[in-house]
Amino acid sequence: MNVWFLGTGTSQGIPIIGSTHPVCLSSDPKDKRLRVSVWISWPGHSFVIDCGPDFRQQMLTSGCTALDGILYTHEHSDHTAGLDDIRPFFFRQGNIPIYAHNRVINNLQKRFEYIFQEENKYPGAPSVNSNPVEAYKPFAIGNKTATAFTVLHGSLEIFGYRIDGFAYITDAKIIPDESLELIKEVDVLVVSALRIEPHENHFNLQEALDFIALVNPGRAYLTHISHMLGFHEEVQKILPENVFLAYDNLEITI
């Protein structure tokens, strides 16, 4: 299985528009972060987790030419705002399957009413097939099985996903024990680490590292990164041996 980090930034993306923060002004490509998403593929299959406002650019950069479905972590705009840009995939393939918590599907139906509309649909609008997902109940994606698990983003219950030896968590603040059990000693763990200072709804770096120690994965990658975490090159130096800062267009094999 191949995992391509399409975006590794926090909600505004890095650089932030108009910001003069040194990280936003950095010329290191690893300090430029689109909104958070990964492309997961294996022979004959291709899925993304989340579909934020940078989706079109991410699909062009990664060279993704077919999409079997979108797995959503939650409804916030930085994870969902790119849904209209599934159009090229829809024109070639037909309805695109989406997998999400029922609450998230309802939210998308409100915000993208024209995509879910069944009668008098505007020609050219894309369509999706909605697949409600429940935490801890495995479901099929292609010839593999995915399992969603609960993660608390502040008080909001969102999903992390496990697919084979790969676990993906973003926007985490608290991880219930049941979810921890599901991903213990996974090969590759991706988990969010917003910044150095604590935040009400997100792991900071120390919380992410403490959680990684509990999971004890083969290796871990940090994502959903703010400019306030610091320069990629400097932060990477202080991380434990098997922990890496993810960056846009990093590709790993599991």
Least Cβ distance, residue 93 to Zn ion (angstroms): 27
Shortest Cβ distance from residue 121 to Zn ion (Å)?
Answer: 30
Is 50 an interacting residue with respect to Zn ion (CB under 5 A)?
A: no
Residue 52 or 217 with smaller CB distance to Zn ion? 52
Single out the segment in contact with Zn ion by CB under 5 A; choices: 44-52, 86-94, 112-120, 169-177. Answer: 169-177
Rounded to whole angstroms, the Cα distance separating 83 from 56 reads: 9
Alpha helical stretches, state H, 63-204: 77-80, 87-93, 102-111, 113-116, 177-183
* Least Cβ distance, residue 122 to Zn ion (angstroms): 29
Q: Is 85 helix (H, G, I), strand (E, B) or coil?
A: helix
Instruction: Return the bridge partners of 167, or none.
Output: 162, 189
User: Nearest 5°: phi and psi at 144?
Assistant: -115, 170
Q: Which is nearer to Zn ion, 78 or 85 (CB)?
A: 78
DSSP-based three-state secondary structure for 11: coil
171 binds Zn ion (CB under 5 A): yes
Q: Hey, which residues between 55 and 84 contact Zn ion (CB under 5 A)? A: 78
The residue range among 13-21, 51-59, 165-173, 175-183 that interacts with Zn ion, by the rule CB under 5 A, is 165-173
Task: Write out the two tokens for 74.
Answer: 């939650």
Interface contacts to Zn ion, rule CB under 5 A:
78, 171
